[in-house]
Structure 1
């Protein structure tokens, strides 16, 4: 400031004027446009339409959820009308929402909210991939009536107005309030009169107590269970009218509580670890059960899910159909399905497992990305439950544009790993799908990249496989296929492009049926991406070339 007064008078005047202007400007109130979008958020939309939604708005106000539903984000709200909430209050036996315990009201509100924007075009006949904020999944399906076709939620609520765009998501209006499941699997089964014999079998074998336990967590993994139950009618058709009939047929040790008793195994074979809705079963070739080392195979045939339908030695073994309509019954600790016929443990032979390495459950939940051409998404180690790796970078799911020069592999997608090398992402470990015990040849396929590692080693359950593979190698399009196979390579997709390659890693002996660990470790420098397609476990006595995989599609191609 002292230096200003040493300047010539005119220049001193200009500087002082400029200084005063700056002071006045900085002391005045700043006026910024706080929002660039005038679209109402969810809470604002409800307040603007109280004639239709005032009661659900009251639920949000009572639970203090109205504020966060007015923040910017991406939500899906299944919004009950006032008539729907009034009907719920009548069933609940209250005249005011304030008479409902706060915790119950909070759980109710959260069941109607998903933290992802999901339009009806993304619905399937089954579970929505993203769980509700309450933690339970919602089930959608199509129903026909005299008024035409409509979409139902949790088999009871009809969507009356869909895909209402709001500032922080999307709203689907429904005509009934969704009900939170409050019973365990054991209670759900026991409360259904048609499952009384199955309930007796659960109690006789001790499995009732297991199905009555609340959810626990081990290393953040919940103890959910899935049950495939049989009605009394199914038992009677198979010749079993009561528990004594079941004991006479299956209890070979006359001790159903003994885990080695056949009746105990009969029940255990119908209980699976994990939360497996029909939508999950449809993409699960083999389902692990609580019967030690035993699995059930699942096959999707048209619109039917079949248990244990296999062809052995050219003979078709007919499967048992899951009863879709009453299935997908949510319980607090799992999900319940029903089956149309009686079935028991089958001696399972080794069966091929085709593991799309990009098909991870967390990527699958991203319905706007998963297997949508041209889309991609990245997730961190902590966000992927069936993968771990050393290093900080995220792993990317990439689905190629079918019309591009990328020429996609099976399903059109790859698991995209940036710089699989020491000091970046040195190794990646996967939980495999369920593999039936036996001997297998292991094949891995990838999309070629000249900057990917030229030497990668594989491990199965910490046992090193015989061969490494070079991700810079192109596929061989000229050598006869059987000659190429003898050299440890093959063309795994059809139509084939040399941008993809497939290498035999070795032969493994799977000693127990279940999920296993598979690890990849780079032995060389990499300056670019590694793109993984399919990991195959084929029984040693199976044709190793066929079936092939449909390039850019979901199908299998036979010779």
Structure 2
């Protein structure tokens, strides 16, 4: 758990500082700006100019050399001189001075992350921390002549990895990374294998949408989109060889620009209104699309991502596989994926949503903390995009990946992490509101699961889209380990984990009618005093006609346990 300094400890520190000032007050001290004698990034480049002088020149020209020589935590993907020479040749420049300064600044920032990320943390996909340029980098693997290498953005190979420096880590790469400066529309146009898909995008009017630069609304939500494209070969397998074939099959109004026309919906259903790399899709069960009120379900099966794979009324409906090797193509306004089959809108039925409230995008970006046992982080309201609250401005919401002490039991939570709320009480922090994942319209039971704490709030009201649910949550209440599970369920409780423990409890807050498919708001309003932390594990939305006990959540793991 997080350690808080007591008053007597602070007093001791002040006394030591005062004594040190008396003893050394007449002596001029020299303080090191770094923690040891290890070279910082810029110093490392200067010490190895024969290999990296050109990237050093870029840092100096852009005035980035100085901040890359200060104390901090950075990851640098360092192009060799040969890699920079290749870049200069590609852009038709004879030297670095021939490249516009703005282009050099964007190039330099693309190679730097403001976090230390070693190859151990690469997951064959998007690196959680974006580059300083703003675009994400993609890791992968290649095998050339029997030699395996880690790749960055698909075609740049790491030739030396995990070089520790005073302010971070360096990975040397054999090809300079390139800023994605084409829009999604331009990226689709540039691939001849997508020529029929590109025609459909133009015919329906979606080209202009996919050609827009990124903007941000009043809530700092970006206009990034993700596109699920299919090649000419995939269309041909479905008997679609031309835009006329597409119109004949899908354009039921003979007006593809009409938002209600089936061909327009065919394209809109392939556009996801957020930035979703494969790594993002892998942790989602459902995503919204630009087709009104229509969603796509996502399932991770082994190493495959499947879209719309479901079993309804005992009938299995195979999904559409995303082509992982081709996908994760970054564009200036989003990301492009490829699918292996033709597909159309599928009518959706209510499906369970297991909302791990600790899985917030800002916590996920803390790669050294997120789901790393024994780590703690806390963020203020202004730092969280999908959580807000009324109350004390100084309050911060904690993220805890549990390990020892109280954490030894907290580590039994699903994924081994929880949200920690300090002083969740009236007058300090109340009306804590979370934005939910996408929920398909329908009727659901809402369960709130937590780790018991005797000092937590004993009376918490749950509101869905502002409407109060009938049952209050008592975060001080232990879980019942004696009653049969079905009897416990009839009383509005259950054991949600794969282990039987009284320290975790799950309470039915009520039944709601979700009116529209999309993301909604669930609020936890404290009505009582709390002298300690509240630890929330998961909030479940289960269709009313679904088994409410199974699947359970794997204690300390990522899986679901079926009866």
TM-score, normalised via structure 2 length = 0.93
Which deviates the most, 334-343 or 37-46?
37-46
Q: What is the aligned partner in structure 2 of residue 8 from structure 1?
A: none
Q: 1:473 to 1:258 in 2, by over 3 A?
A: same
CA distance in 2, matches of 1:278, 1:410: 22
The question of whether the paired residues in 2 share the 8 Å contact of 1:381 and 1:389 is answered with: yes
Q: Which runs of 5+ in 1 are unaligned?
A: 1-24
Report the counterpart of residue 265 of structure 1 in structure 2.
265
CA distance in 1, matches of 2:189, 2:265: 20
Partner residue in 2 for 1:552 = 556
Residues 477 and 497, structure 1, Cα contact 8 Å, conserved in 2: yes
Distance (Å, rounded) in 1 between the aligned partners of 2:273 and 2:290: 7
Q: Secondary structure at the match of 1:433?
A: strand
What does residue 18 of structure 2 align with? none
| Partner residue, 1:234 | 234
Cα deviation 1:284-306 (Å, max 9, x = unaligned): 11010000000001111111111
Counterpart Cα distance in 1 of 2:117 and 2:248: 51
Superposed, 1:90-239 pairs within 5 Å as: 90-219=89-218, 220-239=220-239
Aligned 1:84-483 pairs, distance under 5 A: 84-219=83-218, 220-390=220-390, 391=392, 392-401=394-403, 404-406=408-410, 408-483=412-487
- Which of 29-38 and 485-494 deviates more? 29-38
Deviation larger for 394-403 or 135-144: 394-403
How many residue pairs are counted as aligned between the two chains? 535
Secondary structure of the equivalent of 2:234?
Answer: helix
User: Structure 1 residues 516 and 119 mapped into 2: Cα distance closer, same or farther (>3 Å)?
Assistant: same
- Kept in 1: contact 2:446–2:508 (CA 8 A): yes
Q: Distance in 1 between matches of 2:217 and 2:91?
A: 35
- Deviations along 1:412-453, whole A, 9 cap, x unmatched? 111000011012111210000000000000000010000001
The alpha carbon displacement at 1:496 in A equals: 1.8
Question: Following TM superposition, by how much is the alpha carbon of 1:406 offset from its aligned partner in structure 2, in angstroms?
Answer: 4.2
Q: Following TM superposition, by how much is the alpha carbon of 1:34 offset from its aligned partner in structure 2, in angstroms?
A: 3.2
2:30 is paired with a residue whose SS is: coil
After superposition, give the CA deviation of every residue in 1:280-332 in whole Å (9 maximum; x if it has no partner). 01111101000000000111111111110001111110001101111100000
| Separation of aligned partners in 1, 2:410 and 2:227 | 43
Deviations, residues 489-546 of structure 1 (Å, cap 9, x unaligned) = 0010011211000000111001110000110100000000000011000000000010
Are 1:507 and 2:511 matched, yes or no? yes
Structure 2: runs of 5 or more not aligned: 1-23
**Rounded Cα–Cα distance in structure 2 between residues aligned with 1:405 and 1:504:** 22
What's the secondary structure of 1:527's corresponding residue? coil
Structure 1 outlier segments of 4+, above 4 Å? none
CA distance in 2 between partners of 1:104 and 1:335 (Å)? 21
Question: 235-244 vs 142-151, which deviates more?
Answer: 142-151
Deviation at 1:94, TM superposition (A): 1.3
Task: For residue 407 of structure 1, report the CA deviation from its aligned partner.
Answer: 5.1
Match of 1:484 in 2: 488
SS of aligned partner of 2:170: strand
User: SS state of the match for residue 404, structure 1?
Assistant: helix
**Once the 2 structures are TM-superposed, how far is the Cα of residue 404 of structure 1 from its aligned partner?**
2.7
Moved more, 418-427 or 46-55: 418-427
> Residue 83 of structure 2: SS of its match in structure 1?
helix
Contact preservation (8 Å) 1:420, 1:427: no
In 1, are the aligned partners of 2:401 and 2:411 still within 8 Å (CA)? no
Aligned residue in 2 for 1:13: none
Preserved contact between residue 159 and residue 173 of structure 2 (Cα < 8 Å): yes
Question: Structure 1: how far apart are the matches of 2:431 and 2:30?
Answer: 49
User: Does the CA contact (< 8 Å) of 1:126 and 1:279 recur in 2?
Assistant: yes
Report the counterpart of residue 519 of structure 1 in structure 2: 523
Q: Is the 8 A contact 1:410 1:552 kept in 2?
A: yes
Residue 65 of structure 2 corresponds to 66
Distance 1:460 1:507 in 2: 10
CA distance in 1, matches of 2:204, 2:87: 38
Aligned to 1:20: none
8 Å CA contact 1:457, 1:469 repeated in 2 = yes
2:372 & 2:114 partners in 1: Cα distance? Answer: 20
Contact kept, 8 Å, 1:407 with 1:497, in 2: the verdict is no
| Conserved 8 A contact 1:496-1:551 | no
TM-score normalised over the length of structure 1:
0.94
**Pairwise CA distance, 1:31:** 4.0
Distance 1:421 1:405 in 2: 24
